[in-house]
Structure 1
Amino acid sequence: MTFRVRRVSTTRAGGVSKAPFDSFNLGDHVGDDPAAVAANRARLAKATGLGADRLVWMNQVHGDHVVRVDEPRASVVEETDALVTTVPRLAMVVVTADCVPVLMADARAGVVAAVHAGRVGAQHGVVVRALETMLAAGARVGDVSVLLGPAVSGLHYEVPAAMADEVEAALPGSRTVTSAGTPGLDLRAGIARQLRELGVAAIDADPRCTAADPKLFSHRRDGLTGRLASVIWLE
């Protein structure tokens, strides 16, 4: 049996939040009206065809902790940056506004993961930890497919040279040059290289840059702003 894998990434449009979170903010930790966030999350649940109790959210902390989820949860998963499940129609959700949302799946084994890979988490191996948890749940590395969702691109992610060197040492392939000719980071490039070296061949990347696309939330561009959601589940 092969499962169908669903992957969804939201944009700013379609919600009820007021500026500067306008309008489809799905982050509950950014200062938006909690009622608006709840309404937006209900809209997402309806749009995916899943009940609100079938979406699992995390309190992300830029670490490398992974949690396996085996049943619906009434509350968020605290202090984690990756969720893994083998349960059909149980969706794992990651929220971002420049960091890389990594959606991984083994459709044959029926294992999916949603990963929040910011600079710190990616540097400390959160994607590797998530893949290891998937393999422990029955996935095979050669059957894993990955989507790297909307994130800040290397052209718009300027960092100090020392930081670029530090991340490059831990995540080779990340260091790049911005459109201004300054040191930058392309975390999606580094994550893709890391996954290829681990044996994952099926890797796609959403071409959109959060900082360059006004239809997406970007913390680097706007400061106080909302969060996009990237969602993955099995059918």
Structure 2
Amino acid sequence: MELVPGVHVAVTDRHGGVSAGPHGTRNLGGGTGDDPAAVRANRAGVAAELGVRAIVFMRQVHGAEIAYVSEPFGDDPPPVDGVFTTEPGLALASLGADCPAVLVADPVARMVGAAHSGRPGTEAGIAAALVAAMAGKGAVPARMAALIGPGACGRCYEVPAELRDRVAATVPQIHSTTSWGTPALDLRAGIEAQLREAGVADVRHDDRCTIETTDLYSHRRHDPGRFAGLIWLT
């Protein structure tokens, strides 16, 4: 899908790969107990399907560190949760299984970025940190467009009341209640608020809930696999 002219985004699902068992079949996450050869084959298959020269995968640690990249990290990626680039054909991947991907582009600066924004990352402001890092290299937030990928929705993401209140003290828009009346977090609302506060006016959503959508992996459903949100310059 074209996010803006010259920039494409994609969200994988759990189908079309070679992983077996509970990882079936297109698990893209290492460190999940899957056969490493299957993960490598799945990642290569996605790159071929998208027609990109390479994909950058991060070692996501639920933090707010951002790195500029011009090539994939290799077998030992650093612990970062956000990356950005100006290299055409280099796709940036944010892995998830309830944590939304944040995919951002400035089509004029020809710069794209991806971040992994789960509960800790959202609380730490990873989306705003990505926008700021891109702006530091010449991008303009007012020109940016962003897509927030699938994640656990605010009607399903149940948490203890103390946790909700603590996170909402930093990100008020994240405060939510499940459909059954218990405390919850709305990551999507929190991320959108952070992007808009950072100056990004064009914020779009793939609003599928991973807990409710069986075509996607979900940690809350005890799925061990990971799907990806990806962005790249054509």
Instruction: Give the TM-score normalised by the residue count of structure 2.
Output: 0.95
Structure 1 position 224, deviation (Å):
4.3
Q: CA deviation at 1:198?
A: 2.1
Could you say which residue in structure 2 is the equivalent of 1:114? 114
Aligned partner of 1:227 in structure 2 is 226
Partner of 2:28: 26
Correspondence for 1:188: 188
CA distance in 2, matches of 1:5, 1:104: 10
Does the residue aligned with 1:40 lie in a helix, a strand or coil?
Answer: helix
Q: Which moved more, 1:124-133 or 1:70-79?
A: 70-79
8 Å contact 2:154–2:184 — kept in the other structure?
A: yes
The runs of at least 4 consecutive aligned structure 1 residues that moved more than 2 Å come to 70-77
Q: Do residues 50 (structure 1) and 52 (structure 2) align?
A: yes
Change in Cα spacing, 1:9 to 1:217, as seen in structure 2 (3 Å) is same
Cα deviation, residue 74, structure 1:
3.2
**Equivalent residue number for residue 64 of structure 1:** 64
CA distance in 2, matches of 1:57, 1:67: 12
Larger displacement relative to structure 2 (63-72 or 177-186): 63-72
Aligned to 1:136: 136
SS of 2:146's partner is: strand
Matched, 1:36 2:35: no
Task: Report the Cα distance in structure 2 between the residues aligned to 1:162 and 1:60, rounded to whole angstroms.
Answer: 25
1:10 and 2:9 correspond? no
Aligned positions of 1:70-85 closer than 5 A: 70-85=70-85
SS where residue 83 of structure 2 aligns?
A: strand
Letter in 2 for 1:142: A
Which one-letter code corresponds to 1:215 in the other structure?
Answer: D
The residue aligned with 2:165 is: 165
Instruction: Flag the 1:204–1:91 CA change in 2: closer, same or farther, 3 A.
Output: same
Measure, in 1, the Cα distance between the counterparts of 2:117 and 2:90: 21
Tell me the TM-score normalized by structure 1.
Answer: 0.95
Q: What is the alpha-carbon distance in structure 1 between the residues aligned to residue 29 and residue 74 of structure 2? A: 16
Give the superposition deviation at 1:72: 4.2
For 2:156, the equivalent position in structure 1 comes to 156
1:164–1:58 Cα change, 3 Å: same
Distance change >3 Å, CA 96–CA 151, structure 1 → 2: same
Unaligned runs of 5+ in 2: none
SS in 1 for 2:79: coil
CA deviations on 1:57-113 (whole Å, 9 max, x unpaired) are 101000111011123443353100000111111111110000010000101111111
User: For residues 123 and 77 of structure 1, what CA distance do their matches in structure 2 show?
Assistant: 23
RMSD of the TM alignment (CA)? 1.3
- 1:87 alignment counterpart: 87
- 1:110-165 per-residue CA deviation (whole Å, 9 max, x = no partner) reads 11111000100110111111111110111101101000001010111000111111
Alpha-carbon distance between aligned partners in 2 of 1:130 and 1:95, rounded to the nearest angstrom: 16
SS where residue 103 of structure 1 aligns? strand
Distance in 1, Cα, partners of 2:18 & 2:202: 36
> Is the 8 Å Cα contact of residues 3 and 110 (structure 1) preserved in structure 2?
no
Contact 1:56 1:77 in 2 (8 A): no
CA deviation after TM superposition for structure 1 residue 209, in Å:
0.4
Amino acid at match of 2:51: G
Aligned length: 231
Q: Give 3-state SS (helix, strand or coil) of 2:173's partner.
A: coil
What are structure 1's unaligned runs of at least 5 residues?
Answer: none
CA distance in 1, matches of 2:35, 2:198: 42
Query: For 1:88 and 1:120, how far apart are their aligned partners in 2?
Result: 31
- Would the aligned equivalents of 2:145 and 2:201 in 1 still touch at CA under 8 Å? yes
Distance of 1:212 and 1:89 partners within structure 2: 33
Percent identity reads 45
